[in-house]
Amino acid sequence: MTVQVMEMAWRLDQAERSAQPTGQLTATEPELDVGTAYRIQRELVERRLKRGERLAGLKMGLTSRAKQAQVGVDDVIWGRLTDAMRVADGGTVDVSRLIHPRIEPEVAFRLGEGGEATAVAPALEVIDSRYADFRFALPDVVADNTSAARFVVGPWSPVPDQLDNLGVLLEVDGRVVQTGSTAAILGNPRRALARGLALAGAAGVLGGGGAPRSGAGGALQPEPGWVFLAGAATAAVPLRPGSHVRAVVEKLGTARVGAV
Ligand code: OOG
Ligand code: MG
């Protein structure tokens, strides 16, 4: 572990814990590559695990054109979810602990022992870039654990045969603010799942051989119940205190959260 990786993970961790933004890593390290950025992400999440959090799943990011266009980054990215990021369906998010949160509609899969999808649900993700003005380059957002901050999973249902063209709505205080389709998520959220599991597997996060060990990076079987977020089908919108947000996915139902 190089000093640079540890130092950058520390910086992002401080930004998250203090809800104060930091400068882009690529501003001071223009040579920062994506491989090193994933090492920073792993170290960043390891710091959370050392404080007692547990891995709760994985997420994909920038799997739709709407998302890529919003942040100006054209590559699919993946990150790690912990139990401390989870908010119950219908629960509340305290935005005073976040920097400049945004919220977006998601499709969630529940993973079984071998990483297969055992159920699907409408979901919401609160993202909160640790960088000033929510601006970053690809290595920055990878290192920042893909802006992951909170997630909410609605009611689970069996995975239907067809998931590739379901309408998606994001509502704030009863008004529709974004519309999309699950087709926007790499053509089909199942493709995002396959891609994410392949990437996480290649990085050694998911099992296959060897003794499972805890940690953000060690080969580790996905525990039954792990959540996988496929990536938002629409752009994200600011999450303001006092608002009530719903993600409605056709045939799957609704996930809800309030902000205080
Ligand atoms: C990066 C995270 C993207 C998604 O669903 O595409 C993401 C960001 O937009 O800050 O979670
Ligand atoms: Mg997302």
| Residue extents of the structural domains in the chain | 2-259
More confident residue, 196 or 211: 196
Closest Cα to atom 5 of ligand 1: 231
Residue 189 has what pLDDT?
A: 98
Nearest ligand 1 atom to the CA of 127 is 10
Structure tokens at 67: 């998302």
Give the sign of the dihedral formed by CA 200, CA 36, CA 79, CA 16.
positive
Tell me: pLDDT of 127 over 60: yes
**Is the pLDDT at 13 greater than 60, yes or no?**
yes
Residue 1's pLDDT band, with cuts at 50, 70 and 90, is low
DSSP-assigned letters across all residues of 152-209? EE---BPPPS--TT-EEEEEETTEEEEEEEGGGTTTSHHHHHHHHHHHHHHTT-B-SS
CB 120 within 8 A of CB 110: yes
Ligand 2 centroid to residue 113 C-alpha, Å? 23
C-alpha 62 – ligand 2 centre gap (Å): 7
Report the distance separating Cα 127 and Cα 255, nearest Å.
16
Q: Does domain 2-259 have CATH number 3.40.50.2000?
A: no
How many A from CA of 78 to the centre of ligand 2?
10
CA 148 to ligand 1 centroid distance, Å: 8
Share of the chain above pLDDT 90, in %: 88
- Among protein residues, the one with the nearest Cα to ligand 1's atom 4 is 61
Asked if 227 contacts 57 with a C-beta cutoff of 8 angstroms, the reply is yes
What is the Cα–Cα distance from 138 to 223, expressed in whole angstroms? Answer: 29
Q: What is the best residue among 75, 77, 146 to mutate for testing ligand 1's pocket, by most ligand atoms within 8 Å of CB?
A: 146
Ligand number nearest to the C-alpha of 124: 2
Count of beta carbons in the 10 Å neighbourhood of residue 24: 23
To the question of pTM greater than 0.85 for the whole model, the response is yes
User: Pocket around ligand 1: residues whose beta carbon is below 6 Å from it?
Assistant: 61-63, 67, 71, 104, 125, 127, 129, 141, 146-147, 231-232
The pLDDT value given to residue 114: 79
Output the CA 219–ligand 1 centroid distance in Å: 25
Q: What is the pLDDT of residue 214?
A: 54
Question: Residue 217: which residues within 8 A CB-CB, separation 6 or more?
Answer: 42, 46, 203, 204, 205
Question: Does the pLDDT at position 215 exceed 60?
Answer: yes
Query: What tokens does 134 get?
Result: 């929510």
The whole-number pLDDT of residue 223 equals: 80
Q: What is the mean pLDDT of residues 219-245?
A: 92
pLDDT greater than 70 at residue 184: yes
Assign 3-state DSSP to the chain and report helix, strand, coil percentages, each to 5.
30, 30, 40
Tokens 């977006």: give the residue.
Answer: 104
User: Which band of pLDDT confidence, cut at 50, 70 and 90, is reported for residue 113?
Assistant: confident
